[in-house]
Amino acid sequence: MNKQKSSRINRIIRPVSRLRKAYIARLVGRCVILAGCIFLSVLGSSEFELLDRMNFFSRFSVLHILWGIWVIDMVCQHIPVKHMPLGSQKLFRERFRPVHKEINYSRLKDYIISTRKAACKVFALWTVIIAVIGVLFHANIINRTVLFLISVFFYVCDLICVLIWCPFRLILGNQCCTTCRIFNWDHLMMFSPLIFMGGFYSISLVLMACAVWLVWEFCVMRFPERFWEFSNEALKCSNCTDKLCTQYCKNYSNS
């Protein structure tokens, strides 16, 4: 009886990892950024003139700071960084821990094919969503400022997917964020509404996001063993040190 009571208490009072704490703080920060951007748009601030054509170079704006944060985030996805979650870093050789037994390449091939199909479904769904946004923009129902706010909203949703609930898991069927096939699609999905905007601000972000996506997809094809938990020991839930997406982790909830 006491053991059952102790188990229930442990499930309620669970230690939060340092990385998850950092991501919770980042989510709060992103919510503040979204609220600030909405406030500026309601005021009709001239800050959003930065989004038009080459106005990026005309004067300094608070939107430059946000642009810099996004650029740094994307650069970090191109290099091995210890403090970043394994889910986004598993493409690098430094984060690969081969299994002790021989890899079953037949099963690995089946895994890559199935996850590619699932990823294509997500891509198709997201394309439809962005197409609808594009239609609204070209019909003058929404403007550049709204496009930007949608991207900032997606910026917030990115961490909601990690920390609270991710709708794409219903399509991908992955156990957690660490094994997620599309982990580094985040910036491509965030900035895709900016495709319709034009101007240096949006084009520079979209091109960098495409570069991150292409590197990720190349590594999936070139080094598939790094992305499968039965060939990469580091991806197994029992070896997880991030404890980032704990709402999905059975080992964590049972500990």
**Residue 138: per-residue pLDDT:** 93
List the single range of 78-87, 107-116, 153-162, 179-188 with lowest mean pLDDT: 78-87
0.85 surpassed by pTM: yes
Average pLDDT, rounded, for the chain:
88
Q: Average pLDDT for residues 199-213, to the nearest whole number? A: 95
Give rounded-to-5 percent helix, strand, coil for the chain.
Answer: 70, 0, 30
φ/ψ (deg, to 5) at 232: -120, 105
Q: Which pLDDT does position 213 carry in this prediction?
A: 96
AA identity, residue 68: G
What is the rounded CA–CA span in Å between residue 226 and residue 90? 6
**pLDDT digits over 8-58, tens only?**
444 445 678 888 888 999 999 999 999 999 999 888 778 888 888 898 888
3-state SS assignment for residue 58? coil
Q: CA-CA distance, 224 to 227, in Å (whole number)?
A: 6
